[in-house]
Amino acid sequence: MIAYIKGVFAEAEANTVSLETAGGVAYEISVMPSDLEKFPALGEELKLYTYLQVKEDGVALFGFLSKTDLTVFKLLLTVSGIGPKSGLAILSAIGVPELRLAVLTEDADRIAAAPGVGKKTAGRLIIELKDKLAALADEIAGGFTETPEEDGAAAPEEKALRENAVQVLVALGYAQKEAVKAVKKVEVTEGMTEDDMIRFSLRELG
């Protein structure tokens, strides 16, 4: 099994890249468009965590910048009806944090919006991965967790609300740690929306 490949970013075509190792071997790897946007310039060094698919008609490599993305990709492959290509399509369309949020809130429509994924497959994904994705909370959310006391009492909807707020704040340019700290200070009340959580968190940030 190939855990990762580090080499020179040699070529890019559509959603496939080539990495040339020191030994002069170039590996063709399928990647997510969202990752491709973050790659360095051609000719610079690049490291991708990889999954090797072995089929009767050949082999294929799928690569990710994040080890967490690879972990979730492998989880997707355990769901009946989801292969490497559809798994990559789901992560490309949704992304790991949003996928986890959709699974925890049982938002099958959001998952089914990914190319080639129907409502039936989305529903199966939610049932089979809900507990597994919940267990990856720290890794996926970049360290966002409730305190031990809160964690036992908080509903999945509240956790998802807080985690999504952290993601939005980070997207707005705030550091992960300060976003987490601000969100934790906000008291969740009945009927609170995501917009409310973000607004109150921004007040904590000053």
CB 85 within 8 A of CB 62: no
Phi, psi (deg, nearest 5) at residue 129: -110, 0
Task: Classify the C-alpha dihedral 97-100-104-108 as positive or negative.
Answer: positive
Q: How many Cβ atoms sit within 10 Å of the Cβ of residue 39?
A: 15
CB 18 within 8 A of CB 11: yes
pLDDT digit of tens for each residue in the chain (206 aa)?
A: 688 999 999 999 888 999 999 888 999 999 998 888 889 999 999 999 999 998 878 899 999 998 889 999 999 999 988 999 899 999 988 888 788 888 888 899 999 988 888 899 999 999 999 888 877 755 555 544 443 334 444 566 777 788 878 877 776 777 777 888 888 889 888 888 888 888 898 888 87
CB 40 within 8 A of CB 46: yes
pLDDT value at residue 139: 57
pLDDT (tens digit per residue) in 118-140: 899 999 999 999 888 877 755 55
Three-class SS state of 153: helix
pTM: 0.67
pLDDT value at residue 140: 58
Three-class SS state of 186: coil
Phi, psi (deg, nearest 5) at residue 62: -120, 130
Three-class SS state of 165: helix
